[in-house]
Amino acid sequence: MIKWAFRSIMNELVISVQHLTKHYKVYKKQPGLGGSLKALFSRTYETIKAVDDVSFDIAQGELIGFIGPNGAGKTTTLKVLSGLLYPTSGSVSVLGFNPWDRKAAFQKQFSLVMGQKNQLWWDLPAIESFLLNKAIYEIPEKQFQETLDKLVDLLDVRDVLNVQVRKLSLGQRMKCELIAALLHNPKVLFLDEPTIGLDVMMQKVMRDFIKSYNKEFGATIILTSHYMEDVKELCKRVVIIDHGKKLFDGELQGIIDKHARNRILSIVLSEDVPRKKLEAIGEIKSYEHPQATILVPRKEASERAAKLLQTLPVADITIEEPPIEAIIRDVFQTTK
Amino acid sequence: MFSKLQNKLNKYARVVSATWMNGFAYPLSFWMWRLRQVMSIVIAISLWQSIFAASSNVFGYDQAHMLTYIFISNIAGFIVLSSRTIEVPDVITSGDLSLYLLKPVHFFVYWFSRDIANKAQNAIFSCVELFTLFLIYRPQLAISTHIHTILLAFFAIGGGVLLYFFINMLFGFMAFWVPDVWAPRFLFFIIMFFLSGSTFPLDIYPKQLVDVLSYTPFPYLIFFPAKVWLEQLSFSQIVTGFGALLGWILAFGILTSWMWSRAIKGYGADGR
């Protein structure tokens, strides 16, 4: 915490969220036709705490991973930060603005990219949507051309700019979506599942692009993703949220140190050895000669690896952290 | 100051041009739409020509005045009733509204620009179609070319455009509370079809009904602008008509603004 407070003082604070709460009223329909008829006269509503007393600060240039299961409150938080939703209580400041005021000066400095919907005009080529955004964001001609050229080259979409959006592949469309969202050089970028549905190659392209945009433009970025690979590769700091509550806020390595109780020894044996000998080292996760994976207590990992090398015919060994997905799962389970 | 205004105009001019291009994206659909418009006029002209074949005076109209009304009301109808604002409920229920709220655009002006683009497209093609039909049917028309009449008709049609825009927005904003606005909108369009004067002049109805209708917004969409152009209204009727039109525009304008400000606070940005 002290580390974050120090960083906030040292760097300019771009986003400040204090005790943010957002509650929804949701209509609960009883099952069947009877329920539908009853709903014509009287309806039962339930209050859902989408975000519940969440606070965090983000300094300029940070790239934060926002992690949580479906319905955790990640997207709701991004919507509040973008001025789409009015908070039930708490205060939010982005670039010194109250997002809810939806001032043009604020809107010209941020962008929200949602992976599941697009802003491009479906029946027109992407370039037409770019020109529309140029007019909407009042981007000077020179700046527009320079930014467009740079983004088009970075994402390699020059040959599809004049093709109708509906004829583009998902990957090409997502790249064009990103360009449309970045033409006005936003200082703050909210990326909600930007790699959803993309193949692994395209995910990597998008990740590389986000990383370089963050570096080159010094943009502050909040990223939500279900792909832990995105978070692992891009974000030093993560905020974990579940059922609207913040569970963790700190460096990704911090979660690993705190919640990864084991390490994984992945070995290749040069000879077949009895299972019992491997059990003496740690908990066997899999063993199919010549490969085996063994879970060992994190603190004793080096010691156990040394023992393994001394007692068994090992051809190769690597010591790995457990998958980040498993660690995050552990965070959710232990904090329930 | 000037460059700020120019930037704003550029913004919405680009919306207009994108809407135009979008209108041409599906050629078959576009030409079918035009065919539908032409057929509706052909049916109306043929119907009234058949009626006037049996009698020279129907409901107080002779053939020339009735056909003139059909032509004028069609021009007014093409301009007033063509709209893209009918897409607003879908924009709200699908959650696409978020895209507009994120950008420095005024939602009302954005959609009014789209409406204007659609109307301009409709008006230009209609002029060609109506001229072609005129050459085919060679009807006797009594269209006024007095500059003050054309100016008044222009303002009356402009008023109808604004009124129809706000009415459509009102139905659109209902989607904030009721996900399916199709039924009330359909009912409204059916009523409008008979009471706006788009298919026949309203003064063929009994006088009492016409008097009652004058207290509703419907006649001010097409019937009033058409009658102004036809120079069939007295000075006091014109003044009263414009007063009522302005009143309805203000009423619907205030109501839609109020609905918008209320709705947007409770907007849940669903579907995202």
Q: Do B272 and A119 touch (CB under 8 A)?
A: no
Which range scores top for mean pLDDT: A155-159, A161-165, B134-138, B205-209?
Answer: A161-165
Tens of pLDDT, residue by residue over A93-114, are 999 999 999 999 999 999 998 8
Average pLDDT over residues B147-171: 94
Helix (H, G, I), strand (E, B) or coil at A47: strand
H helix intervals, chain A:
2-10, 32-41, 74-81, 104-107, 126-136, 141-155, 170-182, 200-217, 228-234, 252-259, 275-279, 301-311, 324-334
Interface contact A100, partner B, CB < 8 A: no
Backbone angles phi, psi at B53, to 5 degrees: -65, -30
Residues of B in contact with A84 (CB under 8 A): 98, 101-102, 267, 269
CA–CA dist B158, B136 (Å, integer)? 30
Interface contact A128, partner B, CB < 8 A: yes
Residue A38 confidence (pLDDT) = 73
User: Is residue B213 scored above 70 in pLDDT?
Assistant: yes
Nearest to A51 by CA among A26, A71, A27: A71
Residues of B in contact with A102 (CB under 8 A): 101
Residue A33 confidence (pLDDT) = 72
Residues of A in contact with B13 (CB under 8 A): 135
Helix (H, G, I), strand (E, B) or coil at A301: helix
Tens of pLDDT, residue by residue over A265-314, are 889 988 888 888 888 888 888 888 889 999 888 888 888 888 888 888 98
Using a pLDDT cut of 90, give the percent of chain A over it.
Answer: 37
Residue A11 confidence (pLDDT) = 59
* Lowest-pLDDT choice from A154-163, A252-261, B238-247: A252-261
Using a pLDDT cut of 70, give the percent of chain B over it.
Answer: 98
Average pLDDT over residues B116-140: 86
What mean pLDDT, rounded, does chain B reach? 88
CA–CA dist B122, B147 (Å, integer)? 24
Q: How confident is the model at residue A327 (pLDDT cuts 50, 70, 90)?
A: confident
Cβ atoms within 10 Å, residue A141: 8
User: Which residues, numbered 9 to 28 in chain A, qualify as contacts with chain B under a Cβ-Cβ cut-off of 8 Å?
Assistant: 24
What mean pLDDT, rounded, does chain A reach? 86
B143: which 2 tokens?
């269209």
Tens of pLDDT, residue by residue over B60-115, are 888 888 888 888 888 888 899 888 998 999 999 888 899 999 999 999 999 999 99
Strands A245-251 and A110-114: unpaired
Residues of A in contact with B21 (CB under 8 A): 124, 128
In this predicted model, which residue has the larger pLDDT, B155 or A229? B155
CA–CA dist A192, A67 (Å, integer)? 11
Name the residue among A131, A136, A164 with its Cβ closest to that of B103.
A136
Average pLDDT over residues B40-53: 86
Name the residue among A104, A117, A192 with its Cβ closest to that of B104.
A104
Q: What share of chain B is helix, strand, coil (3-state, %, to 5)?
A: 80, 0, 20
Q: What is the ipTM of this complex?
A: 0.84
User: Is residue B148 scored above 50 in pLDDT?
Assistant: yes
Residue A336 confidence (pLDDT) = 58
Interface contact B236, partner A, CB < 8 A: no
User: Is residue B146 scored above 70 in pLDDT?
Assistant: yes
Tens of pLDDT, residue by residue over B131-142, are 888 888 887 777
Sign of the alpha-carbon dihedral angle for B174, B180, B186, B187: negative
